[in-house]
Amino acid sequence: MVETAGGRLHQRRGVAAFVAANKTLLAAAWVVGFTLVFLLLSAPLPPSRPAPRLRPTAYNLTDFGGVGDGRALNTEAFERAVEAIAALAERVGGQLNVPPGRWLTAPFNLTSHMTLFLAEGAEILGIPDEKYWPLMPALPSYGWYGQERKGPRFGSLIHGQNLKDVVITGYNGSINGQGEVWWMKHRRRMLNNTRPPLVQLMWSRDIIVANITLWNSPFWHFHPYDCTNVTVSNVTILSPVSGAPNTDGIDVWWSCKCYCRECPYLGIKERCEDKDCYRKRRYIRNISYHNITFDNVRAGIVIKVDYNEHADDGYDRTAFPDIMSVSFKGIHGRGVRVPVRAHGSDVIPIKDISFQDMSVGISYKKEHIFQCSYVEGRIIGSVFPKPCENLDLYNEQGQLVKQAVSLNSTELDYDI
Ligand SMILES: *[C@@H]1O[C@H](CO)[C@@H](O)[C@H](O)[C@H]1NC(C)=O
Ligand SMILES: *[C@@H]1O[C@H](CO)[C@@H](O)[C@H](O)[C@H]1NC(C)=O
Ligand SMILES: *[C@@H]1O[C@H](CO)[C@@H](O)[C@H](O)[C@H]1NC(C)=O
Ligand SMILES: *[C@@H]1O[C@H](CO)[C@@H](O)[C@H](O)[C@H]1NC(C)=O
Ligand SMILES: *[C@@H]1O[C@H](CO)[C@@H](O)[C@H](O)[C@H]1NC(C)=O
Ligand SMILES: *[C@@H]1O[C@H](CO)[C@@H](O)[C@H](O)[C@H]1NC(C)=O
Ligand SMILES: *[C@@H]1O[C@H](CO)[C@@H](O)[C@H](O)[C@H]1NC(C)=O
Ligand SMILES: *[C@@H]1O[C@H](CO)[C@@H](O)[C@H](O)[C@H]1NC(C)=O
Ligand SMILES: *[C@@H]1O[C@H](CO)[C@@H](O)[C@H](O)[C@H]1NC(C)=O
Ligand SMILES: *[C@@H]1O[C@H](CO)[C@@H](O)[C@H](O)[C@H]1NC(C)=O
């Protein structure tokens, strides 16, 4: 509850700050803001459950000078904590407990063999001023060209590259990107670089994200990029239905690490020797999603081999990924327009996807909202709404009930 109020308060403040040139309204918003902050601070905090010991060594963010008052900047505290964990013995790693509080920070990196544990009532807040956000090279799959804007992009609030064994979990603590200012600046074309995701892990493996809430990312919320063995479970993702452009929940991406043309830009010449690199198919596979609840979203699950979304034409048209072995289990919710849009292509079909224990309340029409194109896979047990014809039907015991009739049927309708 405390976190909810805090989040809303910020949203309101953000909205007031950019919608209103009118100083009175702004002042009123501040008064309301301070009153709420005062009430929140004076309300007795619920006793916090001690964090479980998930790694042999556990640190508390306050050990590194962290201050959870929503105002102090905790970037250094996070960085020092991560350094301390990186210095621990390989393999066993360490845990960073973030206690209840509002921990404002600029972007920071995670390290391997690390568990970030967010207590109940712990909220990591992204600082809304973009000058604190470092720029990074554009994503390789955009040919290093940039997406919303050409050139470098803003790095994510919580970031990691070439990591393994990373867990982000907790007692439903949250990571809040405070995206309102970013959305406004994006709408007004005030940003010269592509907006940052909230949590982004690149070229990493053995990742678990569980038992937390992601809020109001400036851009996508969780973006595993060219990662292996990623599990997301029991995660709540919240952002407004309107006014928050492109704030996807979970975006799983492939990339080819080598774009020979752009090597000079990267300064990695060795990779140029692998002439085949960007002809080699990369893949997205063995991804499982469990227990996801949608509340009032336009498209629930989207799987797509090509977004056709590039800052310019300098991208590799042949470098699409193979997508296979993606499972969805325990998918619920309400108010969803298109629960599933799985969009393979004749060159690259989507293979071996499965849906089990799915019942999603729909907000629009009944037909053709479970959309598939060039998709193979299976439905296990009962699934609502009625799945597309491309998928084999199995019963709960795993026996084939009905074979798919039209693997390539296309029911995509982007107008819904
Ligand atoms: C972290 O430190 C704070 C302040 O010292 C304390 O209140 C809290 O209980 C500690 N939390 C954990 C999980 O150790
Ligand atoms: C975070 O990691 C990225 C990629 O490895 C690196 O470029 C950046 O300098 C790191 N940032 C900090 C503050 O260490
Ligand atoms: C999901 O998260 C909530 C809040 O942290 C927790 O109470 C619940 O046990 C979790 N459920 C599962 C299946 O992990
Ligand atoms: C976690 O917190 C979010 C935001 O307050 C809430 O919407 C969600 O229901 C909570 N999840 C669980 C499992 O308690
Ligand atoms: C964006 O770029 C333009 C043109 O180079 C420059 O005038 C402007 O100050 C930049 N804006 C920001 C927010 O950096
Ligand atoms: C996947 O990651 C989990 C958790 O990090 C790990 O226990 C498991 O061994 C990994 N699986 C494979 C096949 O590497
Ligand atoms: C998520 O929470 C549930 C219930 O507390 C717990 O059993 C599970 O181990 C947690 N998952 C992770 C990855 O921490
Ligand atoms: C998925 O992972 C399992 C082991 O967890 C492995 O046996 C299987 O071959 C993997 N499938 C693909 C397509 O990588
Ligand atoms: C699924 O998540 C909800 C909260 O969103 C939680 O209440 C429930 O226990 C979880 N169920 C399973 C089977 O993990
Ligand atoms: C689906 O399309 C693929 C690729 O074009 C083709 O090889 C395959 O025979 C088609 N399958 C059906 C059932 O039409």
**Which residue minimizes the CA distance to atom 9 of ligand 1?**
99
Amino acid at residue number 183: W
Mutate-to-test residue for ligand 2 from 76, 161, 204, highest number of ligand atoms within 8 A of CB: 161
**Which residue minimizes the CA distance to atom 12 of ligand 9?**
291
Q: Helical H runs in 228-293?
A: 263-266
Mutate-to-test residue for ligand 2 from 80, 159, 201, highest number of ligand atoms within 8 A of CB: 159
The token pair at 97 is: 């407990």
Mean residue pLDDT of the chain comes to: 77
CA distances to 84, 367, 381, 382 from 324, in Å: 38, 26, 20, 22
Average pLDDT over residues 411-415: 66
pLDDT over 70, % of the chain: 72
**Which atom of ligand 3 lies at the shortest distance from residue 212's CA?**
5
Ligand number nearest CA of 182 is 5
**Which residue minimizes the CA distance to atom 13 of ligand 3?**
234
Q: 80: CA distance to ligand 1 center in Å? A: 17
Looking at per-residue pLDDT, the higher value among 347 and 351 belongs to 351
Could you tell me if 296 and 361 are in contact, meaning their C-beta atoms sit under 8 angstroms apart?
Answer: no
What length does the chain have? 416
Could you tell me if 258 and 238 are in contact, meaning their C-beta atoms sit under 8 angstroms apart?
Answer: no
Q: 283: CA distance to ligand 8 center in Å? A: 13
Residue 99: φ, ψ to 5° = -75, 170
Query: Does ligand 3 lie within 6 Å of residue 172's CB atom?
Result: yes
pLDDT in tens, 254-278: 544 333 332 222 222 222 333 333 4
pLDDT given for residue 68 in this prediction? 97
pLDDT in tens, 220-233: 898 888 777 788 88
Could you tell me if 97 and 60 are in contact, meaning their C-beta atoms sit under 8 angstroms apart?
Answer: yes
Which of 93-102, 243-252, 334-343, 393-402 is least confident? 243-252
Query: Does ligand 6 lie within 6 Å of residue 287's CB atom?
Result: no
Looking at per-residue pLDDT, the higher value among 80 and 362 belongs to 80
Spatial distance between the Cα atoms of 188 and 192, rounded to a whole number of angstroms: 11
pLDDT in tens, 179-194: 999 999 999 999 999 9
Looking at per-residue pLDDT, the higher value among 180 and 247 belongs to 180
pLDDT in tens, 50-99: 999 999 999 999 999 999 999 999 999 999 999 999 999 777 899 999 99
pLDDT above 60 (res 39): no
Q: 151: CA distance to ligand 4 center in Å? A: 37
Which of 97-101, 113-117, 327-331 is least confident? 327-331
Q: 109: CA distance to ligand 2 center in Å? A: 6
Mutate-to-test residue for ligand 9 from 172, 213, 234, 331, highest number of ligand atoms within 8 A of CB: 234
pTM to 2 decimal places: 0.75
Q: 99: CA distance to ligand 7 center in Å? A: 17
Q: Which residues contact 397 (CB under 8 A, 6 or more apart)?
A: none
pLDDT above 70 (res 16): no
Residue 295: φ, ψ to 5° = -130, 105
Query: Does ligand 8 lie within 6 Å of residue 228's CB atom?
Result: no
Mutate-to-test residue for ligand 10 from 305, 320, 322, 346, highest number of ligand atoms within 8 A of CB: 346
pLDDT above 60 (res 400): yes
Spatial distance between the Cα atoms of 377 and 407, rounded to a whole number of angstroms: 9
pLDDT in tens, 143-190: 555 677 888 999 999 999 999 999 999 999 999 999 999 999 999 999
**Which residue minimizes the CA distance to atom 8 of ligand 8?**
286
Average pLDDT over residues 282-311: 74
The token pair at 39 is: 């009430």
Phi-psi region of 374 (alpha: psi -120 to 50; beta: other; left: phi over 0): left
Query: Does ligand 1 lie within 6 Å of residue 95's CB atom?
Result: no
